[in-house]
Structure 1
Amino acid sequence: MVNLVRAVQNFSRTNSTATTQAARATGSARRFVPGVAALVLTLLSLPPASRAATLPGGFGETLIANGLSAPTAMAFAPDGRLFVCQQGGQLRVIKNGVLLPTPFLSLAVDSQGERGLLGITFDLDFFANGYVYVYYTVNASPRHNRVSRFTAAGDSAVAGSETVILELDNLSGATNHNGGAMHFGRDGKLYVAVGENATPSNAQTLLNLLGKILRVNADGTIPADNPFYSTASGNNRAIWALGLRNPFTFAFQPETGRMFINDVGQSTYEEINDGIAGANYGWPNSEGPTSNAAHLGPLHWYGRGPVETGGCAITGGAFYNPATSQFPSDYVGSYFFADFCSGWIRRLDPANGNVVSGFASSISSPVDLKIGPDGSLYYLARGSGAVFKIQYTATVAPVVSAHPANQIVAEGQPATFSVTATGTAPLSYQWQRDGTNIAGANASSYTTPPTVAADTGARFRCVVSNSSGNATSNEATLTVTTPQPPPDAPQLLTEENSTRAIALDSVTWFRDPFPLSTPFNFSADGRTRVMLFAVNLKLLPGETSSAVSAEAIDSQQKVFPLGVEAVATYPGFDWLTYVVVRLSDELNGGGDVQLRIKVRGVSSNSVAIKLRGTTIGAP
């Protein structure tokens, strides 16, 4: 088989080069060589390969299902079932690891060359509506590709439920370069990859949908924010990016929505392109890296060469960002891609486009890659008509990824500490207090009994272990606060015991009590001040008069902030504190004014100050 693969590659290079030279001589674009397709079809008809894939240490593969006829694409349904497209028009279902005997759907398709049932995806609201989308070649004249939607009823499509979402352009006599991949983006739109039908000029025109990435709403209508909506017309407004030869597969990174487009080259390079709205990837005027400012060059490309170093048709494509990672942590974020002819899978660093490493080889014609809900990498081997799962089989020691945090709680309340760790399951947890195991504390979080003041300063950590080792988290410290009784409220002294009591002032203190009927000026600036006397008012060490505030409330319940200028113990009376308050200029006219002070958030009683009808600030 390997020799035949090499024959296909050598034939492709030789004839493509000859065609390219002829095209250059005549000034025309490069043309498809039909003989290559014939050899590829011969390759695909070979019996299944007997040898297993070659994988990195610690990885193994499992056969999920075989007996598939010319598979082309696969996708996981939101409920975990794996759907596989067969080129002849049958959509198969693998459920609980078993290939169901009855197809979910059987379509009449044109399966010549690279035509047939080529793509599948699921509605974002699949659990509610059961919608399944497929891409296939209509077996009627004129031949063309179509995107349709079917409704699922269990493991079968509802009879008569087909709804045509998008009819693509009529095809030429060439049966190759159809594309077919489909995915919903994070924006809720359906993205469709379409090949240029072996007519390179199709890729550069806005007059048809061939050689493009399309973007439509789930019902097939066209979003008005598409990049060519105002310059194209009709269905061509669905064009989202152009300049592609045969984008057989593409993928979205789940967390970011970043798109990678895998474009199969002609005679020079296979490409991985960043999917950008409105981008022109240059085909047929460029293939691989380009200096043309009007074209967006690939993030990564590789040449066509020997099986060990090159390839001839990029396929697959999957970002490793599963909800639950089954691979070691350094694989998370990688982009896996495959080559159909060379039978390998590689992984790419999306940050810079460098190939991190070869990953798998000796695979029988891989056409699609997907990350399963279990975090394993699944590949569809067309040459053997089978689906395989690659999983990490070695045991990974735990690594703490989120350490417990310090906790502050009130006395009598419990405290909860949590830890997060990665590693091969099952993971065991043992919480410790001050280095000593806590009996029964064997979960990823630990809640203490009700705390007491003596618990302050206790240190908690967790030891996570499995059969390969253990990891100890950082320590977290517990602080227990003791509720303080509220301080006694300061009490302003008055000449009578009532809420409308008249405040004592300095004159009252040294003379017989009498109502404060006129303002007093206590300084040369002519501003009106009142000296109040209070008990239960002591400044703490380091506190100043700024710890005390004052306010007045007039008969209209309007509040006036007052300035506190002095707070001190009265000489000879350590239980008595005087407060000098500067009245506000806004307190004009006669009437009663309620005045109170506040210390560390605690208010005093309110006292009345009787003012005569005059301006407070008047000298």
Structure 2
Amino acid sequence: MTHCKNGWLSACRAIAALTALLLLSALTDAKPVRDAPVPNVAVGQSITCQPTSTSKPPPKLPPGFTEHVLFAGCLTQPTAISFNAHKDRVFVAEKGGKVWNCDLAHPTCTLFADLGSEVCNDADRGLLGLAVDPLNDGNIYVLYTTPPATGPCSQNVVTRGQLSLLTASGEKKILPAAAATSQPWCFYYTSHSIGALVFGADNRTLYVSAGDGSSFDQVDYGQLDNACGDGSAFPQGSFRSQGSSSYDDGVILKVTNPGSATQSVAIVTNGLRNPFRFARLPGGTDDLYIGNVGWNLWEAIDHFAVAGQNFGWPCFEGWDPRNNFAAAPQPDYQSTGYCGSVGGITPPFFAYSHTSYVTVEDSRGKTCGGKPSGGGPDQNGSVISAVGFTDGSSTTYPLEFRSALYFGDVLRQCIWTMQPPNNTPQTFARGLQGGPVDLKSGQDGDLFYVDLVTSTVRRFTHK
């Protein structure tokens, strides 16, 4: 995802790619909470997790907030959560393909499904998207990377994406359907795979994100390989996000009536590099706030409000504070000569530079920038790994933290918050034990998050 400037390939990838997820324990010194391997259980069987506890050492939070470790010792690399309608249970996806149904009243999780044999779990690939049907708790939608047609799921191989509906009866593949002859996604490299699932305000529309499927460590306009049909009609590679191929890479899809006979699919926004996580603004609109994982220079939050918006990748990335915060040209791709027809770009709602702190508070305390040893804000890399809203239903959160947008960086080990249309963030959580890869509003309107590094699900309460 980025040019390696210091020869340390793993760190180079971590700067802008979720490939670093498998390396995070080494990068952050975080240790899994559990002391023993999670035992294998069959679908329908339950497992007991460690009792709920407060984080030790605790992160630095605003006054009155406490972080609680809810599910620990029973999960392996959780990636996403989604709540049932009553928010007394939370479904948890594991990167390797398991889906758990966990009870918020007791530290117990029941295995709802195990797709391990169907999931390509390697680097950024795996079961990454999860959404419970708001109208039917028995319908669970999942998004995962599928294995290559032949050979092992590792290194650079052609993998695909799969959107499926899980019920008590099993899995129904809906995009592509089980008998489909075409595939909407193609990913050759180990990052920029599928992303997240978010329901629209009508509770019947499902938004689906995917990365551009291109190389993450060098300029890729289709010249590097022909695995996904590149190499024959430039520009492709990263330009797939501009609709330059038959694949829906680097875009967000709108799936209407998913899994039904009237299902329809449309691209609603493009020009995205790796929209690993995104969230819908609470209320009656389908405004989306998209965490767009960056390359050499920027991490961004893009605001989708009107169908057809183009966020510019690979020709534009981040913003230019010297030019009224307009979308900034991406010099490495602009130099390819293929960006002349890419225009009408929507600049980011917010962006932060890899070489800067996110807030003034961070810069004063030299926090939220990797290990605070004096080496600057980007020692371990930067990756916007989680985006979510609180829903405003909390009776204990202060007003500024209700109906608020939160975003996290798994490598900087911090979470920030702001209230759109205000795009000035404040630091919410510093010094997390691991880092967030999913943020959701849950029981009592509290903010929950998935920590992939320590294999836990956590909750912020306020007294």
- Is 2:400 aligned against 1:372? no
Match of 2:423? 353
SS of 1:75's partner is: strand
Match of 1:317? 387
- Letter matched to residue 280 of structure 2: F
Q: Report how far residue 204 of structure 1 moved.
A: 1.0
Match of 1:213? 252
- Letter matched to residue 71 of structure 1: P
Q: Report how far residue 214 of structure 1 moved.
A: 0.2
- Is 2:111 aligned against 1:103? yes
Distance 2:352 2:188 in 1: 30
Higher-Rg structure is 1
Q: How does 1:328-347 map to 2 (within 5 A)?
A: 328-347=398-417
Match of 2:213? 197
Q: Report how far residue 326 of structure 1 moved.
A: 2.7
Change (3 A) 1:133 1:36: closer
Q: Report how far residue 240 of structure 1 moved.
A: 1.1
Q: How does 1:255-334 map to 2 (within 5 A)?
A: 255-257=283-285, 258-276=287-305, 277-289=307-319, 290=327, 294-305=344-355, 306-307=369-370, 309=377, 312-334=382-404
| Contact 1:147–1:164 (8 Å) recurs in 2 | yes
Change (3 A) 1:96 1:303: same
Change (3 A) 1:43 1:96: closer
Relative to the length of structure 2, the TM-score reads 0.69
| Contact 2:21–2:123 (8 Å) recurs in 1 | no
Change (3 A) 1:41 1:291: closer
Change (3 A) 1:182 1:13: closer
Distance 1:136 1:59 in 2: 34
Match of 1:70? 77
For residues 537-556 of structure 1, the C-alpha deviation after alignment (integer angstroms, 9 at most, x for no partner) is xxxxxxxxxxxxxxxxxxxx
Change (3 A) 1:343 1:34: closer
Relative to the length of structure 1, the TM-score reads 0.52
SS of 1:103's partner is: strand
Q: Report how far residue 79 of structure 1 moved.
A: 3.3
Q: How does 1:376-525 map to 2 (within 5 A)?
A: 376-393=446-463
| Contact 1:74–1:380 (8 Å) recurs in 2 | yes
- Letter matched to residue 201 of structure 1: F
Q: Report how far residue 328 of structure 1 moved.
A: 1.0
Aligned partner of 2:191 among 163, 169, 176 = 176
Q: Report how far residue 200 of structure 1 moved.
A: 1.3
| Contact 2:185–2:249 (8 Å) recurs in 1 | no
Q: Report how far residue 166 of structure 1 moved.
A: 3.5
Aligned partner of 2:31 among 40, 43, 47 = 47
Change (3 A) 1:202 1:13: closer
Is the strand fraction higher in 1 or 2? 1
SS of 1:274's partner is: strand
| Contact 2:176–2:184 (8 Å) recurs in 1 | no
| Contact 1:213–1:240 (8 Å) recurs in 2 | yes
Distance 1:349 1:76 in 2: 23
Change (3 A) 1:54 1:241: same
Task: Determine what percentage of the aligned residue pairs are the same residue.
Answer: 29
SS of 1:61's partner is: strand
Match of 2:67? 61
Q: Report how far residue 47 of structure 1 moved.
A: 2.4
Distance 2:427 2:16 in 1: 30
Distance 1:36 1:352 in 2: 27
Distance 2:313 2:6 in 1: 16
Distance 2:20 2:398 in 1: 39
| Contact 1:65–1:97 (8 Å) recurs in 2 | no
Aligned partner of 1:91 among 80, 94, 99 = 99
| Contact 2:211–2:251 (8 Å) recurs in 1 | yes
- Letter matched to residue 261 of structure 1: I
Change (3 A) 1:354 1:16: farther
For residues 137-163 of structure 1, the C-alpha deviation after alignment (integer angstroms, 9 at most, x for no partner) is 123516311000112xxxxx32x3424
| Contact 1:65–1:386 (8 Å) recurs in 2 | yes
Q: Report how far residue 132 of structure 1 moved.
A: 1.0
Distance 2:458 2:13 in 1: 32
Higher relative contact order (CA 8 A, sep 6+): 2
Match of 2:154? none
- Is 2:83 aligned against 1:82? no
Match of 1:145? 161
Match of 1:254? 282
SS of 2:23's partner is: helix
Q: Report how far residue 37 of structure 1 moved.
A: 6.5
Change (3 A) 1:161 1:72: closer
Change (3 A) 1:178 1:326: farther
Distance 1:273 1:291 in 2: 13
Distance 1:341 1:33 in 2: 8
Change (3 A) 1:36 1:186: closer
| Contact 2:437–2:451 (8 Å) recurs in 1 | yes
Distance 2:126 2:64 in 1: 38
| Contact 2:282–2:403 (8 Å) recurs in 1 | no
Q: Report how far residue 331 of structure 1 moved.
A: 2.1
Change (3 A) 1:86 1:270: same
Gaps of 5+ in 1: 1-11, 19-30, 152-156, 225-234, 394-619
SS of 1:201's partner is: helix
Distance 1:40 1:317 in 2: 17
Change (3 A) 1:282 1:91: same
For residues 11-50 of structure 1, the C-alpha deviation after alignment (integer angstroms, 9 at most, x for no partner) is x8761699xxxxxxxxxxxx97999766542224762376
| Contact 1:44–1:70 (8 Å) recurs in 2 | no
SS of 1:374's partner is: helix
Match of 2:270? 242
Match of 1:536? none
